Each structure stands twice: as C-alpha cells, then as structure tokens.
Structure 1
Amino acid sequence: MILVPKGRVYNYFKFFLKKKNIIISEIKRQLIYTTNSFFKIIKVKSEDIYYLIKNKHANIGIIGSDVFYNNGIFRDKKISFLKMNFFKCRISLIRNKYINKKRNYLFLSTKYDNIAKKISKHNKIIKINGSNEICIKLKVSDYILDIVSTGETIKKNNLFEIYKIYDVYPILFYLREHKNVVNPIIEILK
C-alpha cells in the first residue's frame, strides 16, 4: 500500500502513474483505491503519513520534501527514502509591498515553522496551517513562507516572491526493514 497526501501531490502522482500505464480506480468516498497493478493507494493528510509508515500500517509513503524536512522525518534512522521527480515547486519568502517599520521585529507566518526558524532568527514566527496569503492582507504578518507552484496566487494578491528558499519535490519513504516488500513497487515507480 502506498500512502499519498490529498491534493497537489496526489494529482501529480496520479498523472505520473498514468504515464506508466497504471490507472487508479477512484470511486467517490472510497478510502482505499485499487490500481491495475499489484499495489493499492490511500489518500491521507500529509502530516499523518509518517505516523502510519513508522507504525507499520502501510509500506510506502510519498510526501513533499517540505513536510519531510520541516517535520524532521529525515532524521529517523529506520527510514529509507528517495527523491521522486513527478513534480517540482518551491518554498519561497513572500511579502507585501509595504512593511510595518514601526515594529522592533517582523512577523512571519507559515506552516513550515522549523524551516522558518533556520532562515529567520530575528523575526517572530506565527505557525498557521494554510491561509498564509491572507495573513499579509490582514496585517497579521509582514512575510509568509509558503509553497509556490506557478506564482499565480501571489500575483493575483499583489504579493511579491522575494526569494526561493529551496525546491520542493516528492519523496518516497519506507521502513528499512520493509525493503524486500517495497522493492518491486519502487522498481515500477522509477
């Protein structure tokens, strides 16, 4: 079984599989999807995938490198992982045109609090799960650290991408002890 996050990663993964002639049988509200291959797929929240893999409820997890590194999964010595190439976006620092210079420090809102702590030692970090663009508009924060794919959302909201922090790509990971079980699936996905 492969755990894949709902949303962007799942949509790109589905397209990636289709190019390999693997079709997912999707029925609305179904929890476990079958394929025309020998594995099944489950869509879950990206934050839950590590727990489910670590506790042996599934064999393979696929998540974005943003979640993988922000949540410290890469430190787990029991996990093996490899970079996949079926999509790429980026985490960037984004701001409004105007910054409140009356404050002693700036506010940065993001769901990537651990990444933010590494790049921004002098700002106040506000942990928020989504709706980052609105934080600038409501003057909750001066900056946001967020995922950027095409840049359309930030352009439509008159925001500016200051600089890219790093590229985000999918990561496939599994427990090392399951290597023999997952190898046939990995061979198909390469």
Structure 2
Amino acid sequence: MRDLTIAMPKGRIFEEAVELLRRSGYQLPPEFEASRKLIIEVPEENLRFILAKPMDVPTYVEHGVADLGIAGKDVMLEEERDVYELLDLKISACYLAVAGLPGARLNEVAPKIATKYPNVASTYFREQGEQVEIIKLNGSIELAPLIGLADRIVDIVSTGRTLKENGLVETERIVEITSRLIVNPVSYRMKDERIEEMVNRLTDVIEQND
C-alpha cells in the first residue's frame, strides 16, 4: 500500500482535523497532538504528516511534497495554487470581514486597508468599485486602525472577541470560511484509490455531523 503524505497546519485546524480522521477510523497514536516534530510517521496507517504554517500547506501540495493537504478556504482564496479541492471538511468555521473603528471616516481618496490577505482584499474592494491601498501585515492586524496605519482591516473573525477587545466593529462580511481537503493533481491520478477511500470515510463522518 502506497504511503500518503498529508500537509496540515498547526493549531485549531490541526486539532479538529485529527479528531475527524480518528472518527473516520484512522488509528493515530495518542501522543500525536503533543508531538513537537514537523514530520510525523504513522506506519500502521501508511500515512505521513507534515506540519506547516497555514499559508504554506497549498504550496507543499502544489509541488507534490504532500499528496493531500488540509487548508482553510481563506488560504485557498489568497494563494490560488494549482491544486484540486476535494471536500469541505466543515471544521474551523469562521469568516473574512472588514472592520474598523466605530464612526471613523474613511479617507476619500484611497482608504488604506491592512490585511494578511492582500489578494482577497484587493479583489473584494475592486468588485465593490472601491479604490483602496492595501497594506500587507503578517500579524496583529487589529493594531493598524488603532495606530493610524490603516482606515480598515480585512481579517478572519471567529467569535468577534478580538475585534471587540480592541474597540473595532465589523462593517462588512466578505466570505464564509471552513477547512478543505486539497490534493495534488498528479497524486490524485497515481493514488486515486487510497485518496478516494479517505474522501469516502471522511464524508461519512461529516454527513453524520450535519
């Protein structure tokens, strides 16, 4: 049986994906979540896991170092990699939104938008017919309006608590986000039986949750 390599992001998606795989009948060791390794072998299931930053998962899959990946739809929209999206895993639900300080007036010439998602933000404001200046940041996006760097931010919202704690309010909701199972096109042809088996097992569990 051929090994399957799966790239997964650390954090919440990883924990929810591991639970989903276990419920689908995959025997992952008890210490799996506690491991500090970046590559985890599970020989009993002929599986290998690569733990990566969320934005890097589609890159690993596109280049074939991973057959499959688990990535948020936000990452898929931003990265636009040459991979197939096989399944909505319906985990780690959140959404992308525009937010800013309440009552703050937008710069009329070209409002500044701070975000980790420059491609998504550019596309969204272009579709709204608005000309904006995008400022790419890698973390603590909520700071940008507080220190006068940007008029608005585009960021992931799950509970809305971080916005509230920083005195920001959501002004527009862009798109709903869940995590997806993605596949390298060549792997999909070469390892189709094993991949289809995984998709079917995961689908059964996801449908039970609905």
- Which band: TM-score by shorter chain? 0.7 to 0.9
Distance in 2 between the 1:112 and 1:80 partners? 21
Counterpart of 2:48 in structure 1 is 40
Q: How many residues align?
A: 186
Q: Among 163, 184, 188, which residue is 2:197 paired with?
A: 184
The code of the aligned residue for 1:10 comes to F
Distance in 2 between the 1:7 and 1:172 partners? 16
Distance in 2 between the 1:143 and 1:149 partners? 18
- Residues 78, 120 of structure 2: 8 Å contact kept: yes
SS for the counterpart of 1:12 is helix
Distance in 2 between the 1:102 and 1:175 partners? 43
Counterpart of 1:28 in structure 2 is 35
- Unpaired stretches in structure 1, ≥5 consecutive residues: none
SS for the counterpart of 1:139 is coil
The RMSD of aligned alpha carbons is 2.1
Q: TM-score, normalised by structure 1?
A: 0.86
Counterpart of 1:93 in structure 2 is 98
Deviation of 1:18 after TM superposition, in Å, equals: 4.0
Counterpart of 1:133 in structure 2 is 142
The code of the aligned residue for 1:46 comes to P
Q: TM-score, normalised by structure 2?
A: 0.79
Q: Among 63, 72, 75, which residue is 1:67 paired with?
A: 75
- Residues 66, 184 of structure 2: 8 Å contact kept: no
Distance in 2 between the 1:9 and 1:133 partners? 22
**Aligned runs of 1:1-190 on 2, under 5 Å?**
1-20=5-24, 22=26, 23-24=28-29, 25-26=31-32, 27-35=34-42, 37-73=45-81, 76=82, 79-82=83-86, 83-100=88-105, 104-120=109-125, 121-179=130-188, 180=192, 181-190=194-203
- Residues 61, 69 of structure 2: 8 Å contact kept: yes
1:25-55 C-alpha deviation (Å, 9 max, x unpaired): 4253222234564423221012222222222
Deviates more, 1:167-176 or 1:28-37: 28-37
- Residues 92, 166 of structure 1: 8 Å contact kept: yes
Deviation of 1:117 after TM superposition, in Å, equals: 0.9
Tell me: CA distance 1:106–1:178, structure 2 relative to 1, closer, same or farther (3 Å).
Answer: same
- Residues 39, 185 of structure 1: 8 Å contact kept: no
